[in-house]
Each structure stands twice: as C-alpha cells, then as structure tokens.
Structure 1
Amino acid sequence: MRRVIFNQKGGVGKSTITCNLAAINAVKGKKTLVIDLDIQGNSTQYLLGKKVTDSDKTIALYFKNCLSLSLFGTNSNAGLEHAIHETPFPNLYVIPSHPDLEPLQARLESRMKVLKLRDALDELTGFESIYLDTPPVLNFYSHSALIAADKCLIPFDCDSFSREALYILMQTIAEVKADHNQKLEIEGIIVNQYQKQANLPNQLVEALVAEGLPVFGSMISPSIKVRESHSVSMPLVHYVPKHKLTNEYHALYAEIHDI
C-alpha cells in the first residue's frame, strides 16, 4: 500500500504524521519505506538524524537518471533502489530528499516525467508499505506522489484558512484521480493540533463532519513531545512509547487500518 500525505498548506504536520505512522507500521513488523519529496528534508532528518549531503544517495539521483535516459537504456529504477537508507529503527527505511530537487523540477516538468515515480515504485519490491511525504505546494513532486499513491491522507490543523484550502485541495486530488490515477482515494482527513477544550477547533471539525467529509475520529493533540522527538530524531513510538500523544497515533493508525 502506498500512502501520500499531502496538503498544499504548510505547517500542518505532514512530515511528523508521515514519520510517526510509518514508525508504528514498522514496529508492527511490516517492512516500511518513507520517501521524502520535500526539499526541506524534514522526514529525512527526523528518521536519519541528519540531512544527506550526497545527492547521489537520495531521491535526486533517481530524477537525475530520468533526465539522462539514452538510446543505451539507462536504468532509472536502479537509482531509486540505490537511494534507500536503513534507519536506526527496525523495519523502517527512508529515501532522503535533497536540495538538488529544486533545480531539477523545471526540466522534469518540461520532459513530462510526472509518471516516472509511479513506474519506479511499480518495479520496487520488498516493502509492505510506502509513505510519501510531499512539499506544501502542488508542484512536480507532489503531483508525482499523488499519481504514484493508492491512498491520500490529508493533515488539517484546525485553522479557518486550512478549511478554505481544504476544498481546493480535494478538487486537486479529484483532478489527479480523473486524469492520471483512477485508484487514488482520499483515505481521510487527520485533525492535527487539536485542542478539544477550545471552541474554534470543535466548530471546524463539526462543520467538516456535517459536510460528510472523511474526518478520522482519532485526533492528534499539540504537545512539546513532538518537538523533542524531532530534536533527538526519534519517532514518538520509540521516544515516548507510553505517552498520550503516542497513544493518539496508535489510535489513528488503528482507525486507518480498521484494526
């Protein structure tokens, strides 16, 4: 199963949600891959403890190879396999991001390479689950991820601007589904930074549910433990396995997987 975590609004917790759901999946014994397509590389640093400076050991190599195909048949899929890094956590792997993705983007778009990531993942074997972290904008890389994925998870941070952006986002996903990926489904909206004692978050969530949108009942509270886990590069299931926030992620994971 391939899941893309996507929202065109920044600061909604995409990388945190990606890495923590992937870490729980790995703890359950499933070989899991995170692909970091955001040039900021937050998922990369969260799981590896550092950015990867050598672009030939990142997802950038694969996209470079997509642009260097020749009559002699350069194998771009080899670049994807070469970029897989083992994290310190059992069953959890990551393909890092790199700043070289930025200058590559215009060339990839002009050469119409938006289907290449899907093709590469179709050839990649050995992983039960793949999580795709995306940039906070609909660009070549997020578009590629939506085309390559089976399911889309949408983080929502209980902000009135986020609600307005949500409708545009869902229309974007519908267009990608219609044009490029018939199997793509919105798996659900993940309510992040949820303060149940505050009026606005409750009003916003109630409005989304009333409209029939697929809002998960398991919501993620704000906590300093998230920043602490970032600083030590340990997903919550490893950093604070008994914490309330970790339990919320377990509940969200169980809801997503109908456990």
Structure 2
Amino acid sequence: MRRVIFNQKGGVGKSTITCNLAAISAAEGKKTLVIDLDIQGNSTHYLLGRKVADPDASIAHFFKETLSLNLFGKPQNAGLNGAIHETPFPNLHIVPSHPELEPLQSRLESRYKIYKLREALDALGEFEHIYIDTPPVLNFYSRSALIAARHCLIPFDCDAFSREALYNLLAVIGEIKADHNDALEIEGIIVNQFQGRANLPQQLVNQLISEGHPVLQTKLSPSVKVRESHSESKPLIHYAPEHKLSEEYKALHREIHERRH
C-alpha cells in the first residue's frame, strides 16, 4: 500500500501525519517504509533523531544515480535499498532526505526522470506499507511521489486560505491522474488542528462535505504533545500512547484502512 501525503500549502502537518501513521502501521506489525522527499528533512529528523549528513545514504543518492550512465551508455541500477535506514522503532524504516535534492532537481526535470521513483518502488516489494512525505510545493519530487503512489492523503487546516489551496490541489491531482497515474485516488482529506468549538472550522468542514469532497471522519486536535514528540524524536504512539491525540491518530489509521475493505 503506497500513500503520498501532499499539500502545496506549508504548515499543515504533512510530516507529522506521515510519521505518526507510519509508526502505527509498524506498531501493528506491518513492515513499513517512510520516504522523505522534503528537503527540510522533518520526517527524517522525527524518526531518526538527526539529519543524515552523507548524501549517499539518502534519497538524493537514488536520484543522482538515475542521472548516471555506465560504460555502455545505460542508466545505473538505481535502487532504494542502499538508502533505507532502520529507525529505533520495530518494523519502521526510512529513506532520509538530504539538501542535495535541491541542486539535482533541474537536471532530473530536464532528463525526464519523473517515473524513476515508481519504478524503484515497483522493484522494492518488501514493504507492506509505504508513506511518502512531500515538499509543500508542486515540484519534481512531489510529482514523482504522486506518480509513484496509489493513494493520496491531503492534510487540511481550517482556514479560508487552506480551502482555496485545497481546490487548486484537487485540480493538480486530477491532472496527474489523467496524464501519468490513472491508479491514483484521493483516499481522504485529513482535518488537522481542528477546534470543534469554534464556528469557522466547523463551517469549512461542513462546506467541504456538502460539496462531496472525501473528508475523513476522524479529525486531529491541536496539542503541545506534537512539538514535544518532535523534540524527543518519538512518534506519539511511542511518546504518549494514551494521549487524546494519539488515540485520534489510531482512529484515523483504522478509518483509512477500513475504507480499503
């Protein structure tokens, strides 16, 4: 099961949602992989407790290898295996990000390497669940993720700017589905930082539902525990397993997987 977590708007909780859903999958015994395509490397730091200094031990090495040619003029065998790191949490692995992704981007675009991530994941085969964290912009890496994935989760925080950004995002996903990945589907919109007692968030959510958008029933509350768990480099299920937000993440994970059956 391959999921991409994507929104062109920053600060909506992509990395937090990616890592916490992946941590729950792993805790349930599923061999799980996170791929961090965001140059900021927030998922990498969250799960490893550090950034990865060596670009050859990161996703940057994989993309760099796709640009290389061997003596016969053919691309190198650029697999992901050499960049997969174990995390401190059982069954949970990560392909870390690296700042070298930035200078590689224009070369990858010009050489049209947009399908290479999908090909690598097709060849990987050993992970039951794969979660892809993306940069908060539509660029080569986020497009590669949308082409490689089967399901897209969209984090949404409740303000008018997020709503307009969501409409643009839905159009982008529809275009990629039509042109590059007809298997891609929007699995759901995740309402994050939801304040149920405030009028505006509830109005925005109700409007999206009335328009027929796939808003997931489980909503994530704001909590200082998120920042604390980032600081400790422990997903919530390991940092504060009985906390309200941890329970919400578990409910969200159940809802997503029940929708598949």
Structure 1 length normalisation: TM-score?
0.98
Shift in Å, 1:72: 5.5
| Partners of 1:77 and 1:123 within 8 A in 2 | no
Tell me what 2:62 maps to: 62
SS of residue paired to 2:9 = coil
Structure 2 runs not aligned, ≥5 long = none
- The residue type paired with residue 76 of structure 1 is N
Tell me what 2:76 maps to: 75
Tell me what 2:145 maps to: 145
- The residue type paired with residue 180 of structure 2 is H
How many residue pairs end up in the alignment? 258
Tell me what 2:234 maps to: 234
* Structure 1: distance between partners of 2:36 and 2:42: 8
Tell me what 1:99 maps to: 99
Shift in Å, 1:95: 0.2
| Partners of 2:68 and 2:76 within 8 A in 1 | no
Shift in Å, 1:251: 0.6
1:127 aligns with 2:130: no
Range with bigger deviation, 135-144 or 69-78: 69-78
- The residue type paired with residue 98 of structure 1 is H
* Structure 2: distance between partners of 1:77 and 1:99: 19
Structure 1 runs not aligned, ≥5 long = none
CA shift digits 1:33-73 (9 cap, x unpaired): 00000000000000000000000000000000011133264
SS of residue paired to 2:258 = coil
Tell me what 1:208 maps to: 208
Tell me what 2:3 maps to: 3
| Partners of 1:69 and 1:76 within 8 A in 2 | no
SS of residue paired to 1:156 = strand
SS of residue paired to 1:99 = coil
| Partners of 2:15 and 2:42 within 8 A in 1 | yes
- The residue type paired with residue 22 of structure 2 is A
Runs (4 or more) in structure 1 with deviation over 4 Å come to none
Tell me what 1:161 maps to: 161
- The residue type paired with residue 220 of structure 2 is I
Shift in Å, 1:74: 4.8
* Structure 1: distance between partners of 2:134 and 2:55: 18
- The residue type paired with residue 139 of structure 2 is N
Tell me what 1:112 maps to: 112
Tell me what 1:248 maps to: 248
CA shift digits 1:182-203 (9 cap, x unpaired): 1000000000000001111001
Tell me what 1:172 maps to: 172
| Partners of 2:31 and 2:91 within 8 A in 1 | yes
* Structure 1: distance between partners of 2:31 and 2:243: 24
* Structure 2: distance between partners of 1:65 and 1:221: 41
Equivalent residue runs for 1:186-205 within 5 Å: 186-205=186-205
- The residue type paired with residue 237 of structure 2 is V
Shift in Å, 1:114: 0.4
When the two chains are superposed, the root-mean-square deviation of aligned CA atoms in Å is 0.9
